[in-house]
Chains A and B, each alone.
Chain A
Amino acid sequence: MTDAVTEVIAPTGPPATAPLRSLRSLPVFSDRVFRTVCFAAGGVTVAIMLAVGVFLTARGGQALASSGPSFLWVQAWNPQEGVADSFGIAAVLFGTVTIAVIALAFSFPLAFGTALLISEVLPDGIKRAMTTIVDLMAAVPSVVFGLWGVQFLQENVIPVGQWISTYLGWIPIFSVTDADGQRLTDASAFTSSAFIAGMVVALMVLPTQTSIMREAFSQAPIGEREGALALGSTRWGMIRTVVLPFGRGGIIGGTMLGLGRALGETIAVYMIISPIFTINWEVLKTGTNSVSALIALRYGESSEFGLSALMAAGLALFLITLIINFTASSIVARSRSGAEST
């Protein structure tokens, strides 16, 4: 039996000289329309968003050009064209950051605990319900939280504030004093403070933080988890050695995204605080301010130039939240890829 041999056909005649067929497919008509529409939608989206950015920069730049760098350290807001040091964001920015930091101080432990509870402790059915509830909390309008803060939380938090200022008043930020340095104990000195505003904002940033942390925790690899448990670790030991190291990016990123939201929160802060235009270190004392509350407060009475000044403040706020958000999402994204590769 002979082996099967492939027969080679010798070329007869000259080789075909047809040009190489291009492998690029030519889009049919519907595809061309589809691509055009898609590009147009993307273009419109970008146009809208760039319009916001460009407009803010242009109008805000007008005020910035007039005020110069003093915009960063002046503690007043009476914008007048040509008058030096008439306005600056030092005080409002300080207030914004104070409120956001207080918000984080309250929301971080709660968000961290809730995220761990959902991803590590609860059984499946309750886990899903709890996730839904946290998402639901994100959908509650901020005006409702503000209303609750003004009508209920304020009077219940004032005794706590008084207690803190009495016993921890030796820490400068917790003391409540009047202009002469005399200690104040009256309840009216504790209303509308950055402390109360921060507590309400904490509730609003909590869902964001919780859901990002929960996602990061639940991506901790199952092999390492089971390894830790098999070596005799308790649940907390497993969480400490496996889940937290893998979720570190999620913890940091989630907290920062919450910070970004806390900085931009308007209406609840506006309802609670009593606006002032000086830097107030005493967080328990009445009076603070924030950039967004400033805009809500002053936009109506503003002249053309005053509006530009508000735009400059808005632009500064936007730049800060932008930097925070991008840093946070890059941290979250990096930690995610790390968890997958192991």
Chain B
Amino acid sequence: MTLIDETARRVAAEDDRTPPHGRGRTAVPVAREGVARPERRRPGKAALEDGFDVVGALLAGVSVATLLFGWIAPLSGVVGWVIVAFLVFLLAYALLVSLRSGRLAVMNRIVTVLLYSAGLTVLAVLAFVVLYTVGRGIPALSNVTFFIETMRFAGPLDPLDVGGIAHAIVGTLIQISIALAITVPLGITTAVFLNEVGGPFARFVRTVSDAMTALPSIVAGLFVYAALITLVTKERSGFAASIAITVMMLPIVIRSADVVLRLVPHQLREASYALGSSRWRTVWKVVLPTSRSGLATAVILGTARGIGETSPVLLTSGVTAEMNTNPFSGPMISLPLQVFTFVQSPEPNMVARGFGTAAVLILLVLSLFVVARLIGGRGAGVLSDGQRRRARRRSQDDLMRIVQTRTLPDYAVPASTARPQENP
């Protein structure tokens, strides 16, 4: 303990000797008398006029389109209005920019506007699809019974407060759990095999699994239908649906886990081998923990894809209006298939139920996605604040242990790790 105190004092004394600005700082020039300092230019910032150009051109586009559609030309329809407004906007914008700049600048501005329009279109379409679905699903979703009842006693003409989709929610959960129970261990082990073991067989496995990502999901369903249902079980079941989802998800999980494992820095593996650990210890203690968040993201995104897939389930799970918790016998419906079944009906109430189910499905996928982003979003080996704190604490404890059991030369302990208040 005295050892650490001594070191701390010594390092602190050293700190005093450093120049006041710190080492290696760029000196800020002192303003001299008589030298004018002009306003700093910010070339990246849009000038005020540029904003006016955009707004003015937008106004022009909207007004011309409205005029054309309302009074002058025999045009109609929202889509046509948007297209005309956009074209007029582009023309007006090009004209406005060309008043003050040359050809190159006009081209540059037009392309920038086009790029923004593409991005905004994508954004708007996605937002619209989601909001439209949720919006039309609200009449169904606003009944609590929608989540806790099944469609067993509900006919197509019944009001929305009778019947619900509890059976489809349970079916989805059971099917995806079985699929995950097969996919996660198998997929991650295969990815480990591809990365850590290698060899000609691993290359073959990688080629085959890459090829399988091209398998259309309906063909995966057809395979399970023909191989498992017509030959073995003779009836559609939740288990068959899980197998179809597995066949579809497995290549996705392998591929994304493979990418994540490849990002683990080689230095970490080499350090582990250099310390004499075996291959297995390296994988278990270094590679997998380092890529934990990436692997979780891969699995969750694969789950989101698997939950939303309708076509393999369409052929394999069968349609039912009743609760079925046994995956091995009898049909077991899931959320996407339930949406599909509901909207086949011409009754407005059934369509409303379909939208409600689709909204539940979207919210489920969205929440999985948010969870994936919260867990992931960091590269391999990049720790969160909490993880970093824990790692630092562990390493300090190790240091203390070493210091107390051995006599080290006193320069070995840097002051920043000293925690004298915790010494016995």
Given contacts A27-B279, A203-B129, contact A49 B211 (CB under 8 A): yes
Interface string of B201-243 (1 = CB under 8 A from A): 1101100111111111111101101110010000000000000
Answer yes or no: A194 CB below 8 A from chain B CBs. Answer: no
Distance, CA A292 to CA B125, complexed state (A): 25
- Residues on the A chain within 8 Å of B130, using CB: 140
List of B residues within 8 angstroms of A109 by Cβ: 118
Extra contacts besides A113-B119, A143-B308 (5): CB < 8 Å: A139-B368, A141-B365, A152-B132, A160-B77, A236-B107
Contact residue among B121, B219, B315 (Cβ-Cβ distance under 8 Å from A317): B219
Contact in complex: B220, A52 (CB < 8 Å): yes
Cβ contacts under 8 Å, A144 to chain B: 129, 133, 308, 339, 358, 361-362
B133 touches A45 (CB 8 A): no
Chain A residues near B304 (CB, 8 Å)? Answer: 139
Is A201 interfacial (CB 8 A cutoff)? no
- Bound CA span A113–B117, Å: 8
Binary CB contact string for chain B from 374 to 403 against chain A (1 if under 8 A, 0 otherwise):
000000000000000000000000000000
Asked if B208 and A45 make an inter-chain contact with CB atoms under 8 angstroms apart, the answer reads yes
B11 within 8 A of A: no
> In the complex, which of the residues B76, B202, B209, B226 has the most CB atoms of chain A within 10 Å of its own CB atom?
B226
Q: Is B194 an interface residue, CB under 8 A from the partner?
A: yes
Which residues of chain B in 172-218 are interfacial with respect to chain A, using CB atoms and an 8 Å cutoff? Answer: 185-187, 189-190, 192-194, 196-197, 201-202, 204-205, 208-218
Separation of A315 and B16 alpha carbons in the complex (Å): 76
**Which residues of A lie under 8 Å from residue B111 when comparing CB positions?**
235-236, 239
In Å, the complex CA distance between A307 and B315 comes to 12
Q: Which of A151, A239, A307, A314 contacts B218 (CB 8 A)?
A: A314
B118 touches A148 (CB 8 A): no
**Chain B interface: which of A84-92, A129-137, A246-254?**
A129-137
Closest to B111 in A: A236
Residues of B within 8 A of A150 (CB): 343
State which of B1-9, B246-254, B264-272 sits at the interface with chain A.
B246-254
Q: Does B168 contact A (CB under 8 A)?
A: no
A42 touches B214 (CB 8 A): no
Interface digits, A46-59 against B, CB 8 Å rule (1 contact, 0 not)?
A: 10111110011001
Q: Is the interface of B mostly helix, strand, loop or mixed?
A: helix
- Size of the chain B interface, CB-CB below 8 angstroms: 94
CA distance A239 to B107 in the complex (A): 12
Q: Which 5 A-B pairs have the closest CB atoms?
A: A113-B118, A141-B308, A264-B216, A41-B189, A159-B77
Segment touching B, from A219-227, A275-283, A318-326: A318-326
- 21 A-B pairs, CB-CB below 8 angstroms? A39-B193, A39-B201, A41-B193, A46-B208, A48-B250, A49-B251, A113-B114, A114-B115, A114-B118, A121-B116, A139-B301, A140-B126, A141-B310, A141-B336, A144-B133, A150-B343, A234-B105, A235-B112, A265-B216, A266-B217, A299-B315
A182 adjacent to chain B (CB < 8 Å): no
Judged by a CB distance under 8 angstroms, whether A311 is at the interface is: yes
Asked whether, in the complex, the Cβ of B119 is within 8 Å of the Cβ of A50, the reply is: no
A residues sitting closer than 8 Å to B (CB atoms) are: 27-28, 30-31, 33-35, 37-39, 41-42, 44-46, 48-52, 55-56, 59, 109-110, 112-114, 116-118, 120-122, 130, 132-137, 139-145, 147-148, 150-152, 156-157, 159-160, 163, 203, 206, 210, 234-237, 239, 260, 263-267, 271, 291-292, 295-296, 299, 304, 307, 310-311, 314-315, 317-318, 321-322, 324-326, 329
- The docked-state distance in angstroms from the alpha carbon of A315 to that of B308 is 24
Asked if B119 and A147 sit within 8 Å, CB to CB, the answer is no
Residue of A nearest to B105 (CB): A234
B70 contacts the other chain (Cβ, under 8 Å)? no
Say how far B364's CB is from chain A's closest CB, in angstroms: 9
A41 to B121, CA, bound (A): 44
Question: CA–CA, A321 to B222, complex, Å?
Answer: 16
Whether B80 sits at the interface, judged by CB under 8 Å, is yes
Q: How far is the CA of A305 from the CA of B121 in the complex (A)?
A: 47
Instruction: Assess whether B10 is interfacial by the CB under 8 Å rule.
Output: no
Cross-chain contact of A307 among B136, B226, B311, B351 (Cβ < 8 A): B226
Contacts A45-B250, A133-B123, A137-B122 known; A147 to B216 CB distance under 8 Å? no
Closest to A157 in B: B79
Q: Which residue of B lies closest to A112 (CB)?
A: B118
Which residues of B are found within 8 Å of A112, using beta-carbon distances? 118
Q: B283-307: which have CB < 8 Å to A?
A: 283, 301, 304-305, 307
Check B355 for interface membership: any CB of A closer than 8 A. yes
Q: How far is the CA of A132 from the CA of B365 in the complex (A)?
A: 14
Do B218 and A141 have beta carbons less than 8 Å apart? no
Q: Which residues of B contact A38 (CB under 8 A)?
A: 189-190, 192-193, 196-197
Decide if B369 is an interface residue (CB 8 Å cutoff).
Answer: yes
